[in-house]
A and B are shown apart, each in its own frame.
Chain A
């Protein structure tokens, strides 16, 4: 592609994004980056950007992250169930009745499983009995992306989301071996018969590909919050935003409260934090 055409596409893309994405994004403070995500969803011109080939976007330095505030979840235990259902419905996550085939984007697990490298010795009762939300950490240095032989999983430089291209994935499952958080699922068989309520706004997957939480890229593009965050709206149980923006709600919270990440010793730099 010659340079002029490339520049034109860039300008056209940015102009389109400014028009479509920006207005609804006031709350998330990282509107430019989130809007750019929308571009990837609509225009082919930015398909290259979606695969991380365009470095310019990185200069904006947006890194989306999430704080899971277990104090709020303990107060309202049904909140997490709502969040999980909202995610499953939004993303056509199939429900298998056997553990072997299951597909999970966000799910519940006890502290000792979510944090196997933290001590569970004489654990406070409220922590021991709590159900923790588990989802993809959208690592800043993701081992799954390093392992993937086809760039079917990649980090969006404009907002730090670790995304998937279900049409490129060859199903080698190297990413599943590489992920130290067990965040990835494989479609061992056709998932479609196991989708209870089909959401036409999000593609279902075919068998033979890997999938995982996408931080609701498709909803961010429309100026909406992730489905799980929305399900917890008004409670502060899940806070989502730009970890690199000192003024964002998530940063204000992290600056104030002590939060932990899952197995941070591995150097993956998870973007999901837990206030226990």
Chain B
């Protein structure tokens, strides 16, 4: 099936070259960082995780989001998802590739990464994250490939694959739960020390992942003559809408707990995110414009989803609302959640984080790599689909 990636229209090659350009920039920037050290990033003693770990956190969600297709199709036998479930599985693969690259980019001593396996440490959540992420990656590659091969040959998939498909469902939940546990089990970080982090992560994941799939379907319909079907799209939008609503609800609960309890530690980070934090006469508010943009995008998208015309009749508005919700969730989890957890630091000093150009280059490079992988995988999936037809 890999040969399908080698034949395509000019637009396909131009798109791959476009991504390849960013990948090259990313490699160059990473080489600089590798030779100098993480000092080339905007991270500091106080904000010791930056864009790399925040992108990792967000993308784990995108990967987990694929389960919103796998679960209805395989557990509830929801036939309308038959054509696009493979898109969910392949999206998970591309997202996890990005996650692993972001982790590697973030390590101070990347050549020692295997120490995590050579000295397994079950009390560390990072150890478990390594296990579930690699497990989920493996399951998706295997299940996706076997089922697609069967479809191509017009036969039923082998029976042994089903237990693995079912296993991939709790794995999807576990990757984001364990990623939440990286944060919510740390005693000194109030903003993260909340039992709702894992459910909140899952809710936003189940909106962000399917939103990206809807966007991909709308694009594939135009460029690859691949129609996911109206029913499948409608159902996806329903899933996105409810997941995004739940996420909004969870975030508002955090705001309530912080401000009603009036405990300073519970308020600082929220204050910093949405209004800016005053300290020794200086107001620190780097993230405020981003967070309010996220609020507008979030409620704007929810409004569009609630409007039947936009949801069902107008593909431009449908795509727009998905881009908006994806953007809102990316700002919420892919920027604000991680950065604000470090403000203020344990000594109640404030250091703000601003990524450097080199760091942005690496970040863009990894995103481009992910979309490169995604494009190749979707090319295969759509190619098989056309062959069968």
A172 touches B107 (CB 8 A): yes
* Total chain B interface residues with beta-carbon distance under 8 A: 45
Type the 1/0 row for A137-153, where 1 means its CB is closer than 8 Å to any CB of B.
Answer: 00000010011111110
CA distance A171 to B115 in the complex (A): 11
Q: A85 near B: Cβ within 8 Å?
A: no
Q: A185 near B: Cβ within 8 Å?
A: yes
B108 touches A170 (CB 8 A): yes
Given contacts A180-B186, A207-B37, 11 further A-B contacts (CB under 8 A): A99-B44, A146-B123, A147-B125, A149-B116, A173-B106, A187-B37, A188-B41, A188-B44, A189-B38, A208-B108, A266-B188
CA distance A182 to B124 in the complex (A): 19
List residues of B (24-41) whose CB comes within 8 Å of A's CBs. Answer: 36-39, 41
* Total chain A interface residues with beta-carbon distance under 8 A: 49
| B351 surroundings in chain A (CB, below 8 A) | 99-100
> Of B108, B342, B349, which contacts A171 at CB under 8 A?
B108
CA distance A169 to B183 in the complex (A): 20
Type the 1/0 row for B36-79, where 1 means its CB is closer than 8 Å to any CB of A.
Answer: 11110101111011000000000000000000000000000000
Q: A101 near B: Cβ within 8 Å?
A: yes
Q: B346 near A: Cβ within 8 Å?
A: yes
CA distance A187 to B43 in the complex (A): 11
A interface residue numbers (CB < 8 A to B): 99-104, 109, 112-114, 116-117, 134, 143, 146-152, 168-174, 176-182, 185-190, 207-210, 263, 266-268
List residues of B (245-285) whose CB comes within 8 Å of A's CBs. Answer: 265
Taking the nearest CB of chain A, how far is it from the CB of B265, in angstroms? 8
B interface residue numbers (CB < 8 A to A): 36-39, 41, 43-46, 48-49, 103, 106-110, 112-113, 115-116, 118-119, 121, 123-127, 130, 182-183, 186-189, 265, 341-342, 345-349, 351
CA distance A102 to B44 in the complex (A): 8
CA distance A109 to B126 in the complex (A): 32
B188 touches A179 (CB 8 A): yes
Taking the nearest CB of chain A, how far is it from the CB of B349, in angstroms? 6
Q: With CB as the reference atom, state the residue of chain B lying closest to A51.
A: B119
CA distance A190 to B45 in the complex (A): 15
Taking the nearest CB of chain B, how far is it from the CB of A224, in angstroms? 29
Q: Check A148/B45 contact, CB under 8 A, given A188-B39, A208-B38.
A: no
Q: With CB as the reference atom, state the residue of chain A lying closest to B341.
A: A177
CA distance A170 to B38 in the complex (A): 13
Q: Check A116/B116 contact, CB under 8 A, given A149-B127, A189-B37.
A: no
Name the 7 nearest CB pairs between A and B, nearest first: A171-B108, A180-B188, A208-B108, A188-B39, A189-B39, A149-B126, A182-B346
> Of A112, A169, A174, A189, which contacts B124 at CB under 8 A?
A174
A170 touches B187 (CB 8 A): no
Q: With CB as the reference atom, state the residue of chain A lying closest to B265.
A: A117
> Of B43, B125, B183, B187, which contacts A180 at CB under 8 A?
B187
CA distance A210 to B107 in the complex (A): 11
B347 touches A187 (CB 8 A): no
A99 touches B45 (CB 8 A): yes
Scoring B106, B188, B341 by chain A CB atoms within 10 A of each residue's CB, the highest score goes to B188
| A187 surroundings in chain B (CB, below 8 A) | 37, 108
| A189 surroundings in chain B (CB, below 8 A) | 36-39
Taking the nearest CB of chain A, how far is it from the CB of B216, in angstroms? 32
| B341 surroundings in chain A (CB, below 8 A) | 177
Q: With CB as the reference atom, state the residue of chain B lying closest to A98.
A: B44
Residue contacts A-B, CB under 8 angstroms, 23 given? A99-B351, A100-B39, A101-B45, A103-B45, A109-B347, A114-B347, A143-B186, A148-B121, A149-B121, A149-B127, A150-B119, A168-B112, A170-B115, A171-B108, A177-B48, A178-B186, A180-B186, A181-B346, A182-B46, A182-B346, A182-B347, A208-B108, A209-B108
B115 touches A188 (CB 8 A): no
Q: With CB as the reference atom, state the residue of chain B lying closest to A139.
A: B187
| B345 surroundings in chain A (CB, below 8 A) | 182
CA distance A143 to B127 in the complex (A): 15
B348 touches A174 (CB 8 A): no
| B187 surroundings in chain A (CB, below 8 A) | 143, 178, 180, 266-268
Q: With CB as the reference atom, state the residue of chain B lying closest to A166.
A: B109
| A173 surroundings in chain B (CB, below 8 A) | 48-49, 106, 108
CA distance A173 to B116 in the complex (A): 13
Taking the nearest CB of chain B, how far is it from the CB of A213, in angstroms? 14
A174 touches B182 (CB 8 A): yes
| A147 surroundings in chain B (CB, below 8 A) | 124-126, 186
A149 touches B188 (CB 8 A): no
> Of A151, A178, A188, A263, which contacts B37 at CB under 8 A?
A188
Scoring B109, B118, B119 by chain A CB atoms within 10 A of each residue's CB, the highest score goes to B109
> Of A113, A148, A178, A185, which contacts B347 at CB under 8 A?
A113
CA distance A109 to B103 in the complex (A): 33
B108 touches A116 (CB 8 A): no
Q: Check A148/B124 contact, CB under 8 A, given A208-B108, A266-B188.
A: yes
Q: With CB as the reference atom, state the residue of chain B lying closest to A113.
A: B347
> Of B38, B115, B188, B347, which contacts A150 at CB under 8 A?
B115
| A101 surroundings in chain B (CB, below 8 A) | 39, 44-45
